[in-house]
Structures are given as structure tokens and as C-alpha cells.
Amino acid sequence: MGPLAWPPAPRPEAISAADWCDWTWQMRHRVRSAAELAAWRAPRADEHAAIDALAERFRFVITPYYASLMDPEDPACPIARQVVPQLGELEDPDGLPDPLDEVAHSPVKNLVRVYPDRVAFCVNNECALYCRYCLRKRMVGEPDWAMKKRELEQALGWIRATPAIRDVLLTGGDPLVFSDDKLAWLLGELRAIPHVEIVRLGTRLPVTLPFRVTDDLCRILAEHHPIWVNTHFNHPRELTAEAADACDRLLRAGCPVGNQSVLLRGINDDLPTMQALCEGLIRMRVRPYYCYQAQLLEGTAHFRVPIERGLELFESLRGRTSGFAIPVYVLDTPHGKVPLARSRLRGRDGDFVVVEAWNGALWRERNPLDAASDDAPAGRRTP
């Protein structure tokens, strides 16, 4: 699919403060082409080539707000690397479209059940921007994965008919891309199901579009408690005043806020960066919850870190910072999440790491020690 006919990206200096802080304006003016990206950070020649080569496979979309966090002088900018296509995405022979087998774990469309008492409900296929390492890149931005009203109702019907489900995670895509009315309807339907004890929202909008956390949204969330929010900061440069304000609003609305990051080569896989991220989150009263090992997902070999190096990184944090600032390092598998501690490793078999899941199942994760091309700049690596 080629770029759509959206309003052209404005020159940064021509944007009014009122427009900038309006989340719907941000959504309408998202960056969708190399020319629009150049208003914020001129793409390198290889990024130009990647944008063209990946237009059909996983196109790029960035909010002006997130684009403004990029450093135009830094060729390895950790913000740009998360959202601007890279040629490395074309070199991943082992990557899979659905590494967690989510489609096979779906009793109805976009409802993923791995555990007996929980479901992940992928309520939409849209996000404010598209992360290059997105686990659900098979569905993000793809019309076939959009949920029609009758499909949402079908999934709600399945939850209603399944009393074992006590915890529903609304995810996607991003559930906060929904309009207030649609979100209020969905939360109301879930709240009316007696066995659904808690609703969780998985959203990256506090990071990528913090202006979405409006007073009206907070009022809707406060009317449907208990609601827990997990967001997704990966780098300390994302911890802006605007993001802190969005998290503060969610907290004041009564939503505990946690963070789920992804360990990304050359972005946050060194001790100073991870420590600054975790300590910055704590200052914002956001609890670092999980840090995911990057999945064996198509087009992401250049992001993956050997698991042993991830273990060293999180072991190094112990004692250097507050205990509750250290997230649990986890590997997601089709058997559920495996906390990556040395006690859960059952060994290395060449290019594979063997881990034991919560239900005793053994899982072999392809994770070469020399994983991917090493394009991380010096000084951004774990020693």
C-alpha cells in the first residue's frame, strides 16, 4: 500500500500551540513519507532506500510530536531508529510473522488466550505510529485486521460466555486511538460482565501522543475502574514533560501505570541508558514492569540482543538502583512469558537458548550469540 492522501506535514515553525496539543490534529498530520520526515530530520540515503523498499511490507507512520524528539544531528538517533525504516529489516531469514502463534491461540478474531484466566483483546489495527519492532506488525495498519463492530461484539460474547476470564487486556494496535465514545462503549460492555475483575490498557500513546490523555478520557477511565495501564517507554529521551503530564493525569484518574519496554540493540541495551530509563520512570511514578527480549519477529534481527547479554545488563542494575526500578526481563513464548533469570535457563544449544515456561514446557528460542549485524554505535553497548 502506498502513502495515503493525508494533509501534508506542516513545517514545524508553522504549527500553532493549540494544534500541536490537539491529539486529533497530530493524528491527521502524521509523517508518512521521506519528504515529510525531512521537516524534522533529513533521512539518510540508506533510510530513503529502506522507506521505498518497505512501503509495501511495513510502511512507516510517525506523529509530529514523536518526530520532534528525533535528533537531526545523530545518525543513530534512538528515537528515529524505533520508527524510521532500516535496510536491516530486509535481512532476517529467521524472523516469523507471528512468533507467538497468536492466531492459533485465538478462539475468535483478535482475542488471544494463552493463560486460563486472561485474554489479550486486540481491539483495533491502528496506532499513532508504527514501531519497527512491533510484535503485531502483521496487523498494524492492515485493513484486514481492523475490527468491525460485529466482530468486537463477537469477542465480547466469547468473554461473556467464558467465566474463567477475570482479566482482559485491551491492546491492538492501540486502544486509545479509539474515539472517546467507542472506548466508553467498550469499557461499559466489559464492566457489565460480572466475572471480568480487571481491565488493562496496553497503550503507547503516553509516549508517542501524550495529548491523547485528555480530561474527557480520564473521566471515562475513572468511571470504569479497576483499570490498569501499561505503557511503553524505551529510551530516556522519551521521558518528556508532556509524557510525564500524561502519566500524571492517568495516575490522578486512579489508573496504576506500569511500563513495558523492549530490549533493543543500539537503543537501550547499555547500562547507563537502561538505568536512566528506569530511574526516570520512577520519578514519573511509572513502575518499570517488564522489559521484553525482542522477539524472533520478521525484519527485526538488527534489534535482537543475545539473552546472556540481556541477563548481564539486568544483573548489573541490581544494587546500582532502587530494587523496584528494575523491570523483570522476560521472553514471551507461545507458552506465555518466561522471566529470564539464570534459574529459568535450561541451557544453550548452539544458536538456541532453552527456557522453561510457567507450565513446565520447554521452549527453544533461536538467539545466536552473535545475533544480527552490529550497527550499534560505540558507547551504546553493554561492556
Smallest distance, Å, CB 365 to ligand SF4? Answer: 20
Smallest distance, Å, CB 170 to ligand SF4? Answer: 12
Alpha-carbon span 109 to 102, nearest angstrom: 10
Window 88 to 117, contacts with ligand SF4 (CB under 6 A): none
Grid coordinates of 358: 510457567
Answer for which of 36, 174, 238, 298 binds ligand SF4 (CB under 6 A) is 174
Q: What is the per-residue binding string for ligand SF4 in 193-232, x denoting contact by CB under 6 A?
A: -----------x----------------------------
Smallest distance, Å, CB 65 to ligand SF4? Answer: 14
Cα four-point dihedral sign 362, 370, 78, 1: negative
Alpha-carbon span 370 to 367, nearest angstrom: 8
Grid coordinates of 365: 528460542
Q: Where are the beta strands (DSSP E) in the chain?
A: 111-112, 118-122, 167-171, 198-202, 227-231, 257-263, 287-293, 328-333, 336-339, 345-349, 352-356, 362-366
Q: Whose Cβ is closer to ligand SF4: residue 234's or residue 333's?
A: 234
Smallest distance, Å, CB 132 to ligand SF4? Answer: 9
Q: Whose Cβ is closer to ligand SF4: residue 100's or residue 353's?
A: 100
Number of residues counted as binding ligand SF4 (CB under 6 A) = 10
Q: Whose Cβ is closer to ligand SF4: residue 212's or residue 353's?
A: 212
Q: What is the per-residue binding string for ligand SF4 in 122-141, x denoting contact by CB under 6 A?
A: -----x--xx--x-x---x-
Quote the DSSP letter at residue 235. S
Smallest distance, Å, CB 300 to ligand SF4? Answer: 11
Q: DSSP readout, 50-89?
A: HHHHTTTTS---B-HHHHTTS-TT-TT-TTHHHHS--GGG
For residue 173, state whether it binds ligand SF4 (rule: CB under 6 A): yes
CB 225 within 8 A of CB 252: no
Residues near ligand SF4 (CB under 6 A): 127, 130-131, 134, 136, 140, 172-174, 204
